């Protein structure tokens, strides 16, 4: 069985990255918005956040995660009988590595509460797993 073309993997990764950005924004603003607004953090980076780099560093990781999900799905697919298993494994791996590195490290540094870290990680799982299934469905021949 021949896998999808690299261009298709890139397109699906881009789509998943876009949808991760969208669902992350919606979740962080509407589901977790009150928790984020309660944060009391020194505003030492206000000038930096007003620059274009804030947007780059905010949006880029979800595109990396989208590409990683698509690429991992293609790499894992031959090892699984069902495409859903490969997709969920890829999504879970990316969610765990990305979510733990991001939110648990930030909580461990004292910038956010552990409650917010766990809520954010739950949001990561709730968005990445269905989108990994979408990627798998779109990449399945």
User: What SS3 state is found at 105?
Assistant: helix
Q: Is the dihedral of CA 100, 106, 108, 109 positive or negative?
A: positive
Q: Which residues of the chain are under the pLDDT cut of 50?
A: none
- Any idea where the domains of the chain sit in the sequence? 6-139
- What letters, b where the CB count within 10 A reaches 16 and e where it falls short, cover 15-35? bbbebbbebbeebeeeeeeee
pTM of this structure: 0.90
């Amino acid at each position: 069985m021949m896998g999808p073309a690299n261009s298709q993997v890139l397109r699906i990764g881009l789509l998943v990255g876009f949808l991760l950005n969208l669902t992350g924004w919606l979740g962080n603003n509407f589901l977790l918005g009150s928790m984020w607004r309660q944060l009391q953090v020194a505003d030492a980076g206000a000038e930096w956040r007003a620059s274009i780099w804030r947007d780059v560093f905010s949006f880029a990781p979800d595109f990396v995660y989208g590409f990683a999900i698509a690429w991992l799905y293609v790499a894992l697919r031959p090892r699984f009988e069902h495409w859903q298993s490969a997709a969920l494994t890829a999504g879970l791996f990316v969610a765990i590595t990305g979510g733990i590195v991001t939110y648990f490290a930030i909580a461990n540094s004292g910038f956010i509460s552990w409650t917010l870290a766990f809520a954010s990680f739950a949001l990561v799982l709730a968005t990445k797993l269905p989108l990994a299934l979408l990627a798998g469905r779109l990449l399945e021949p």
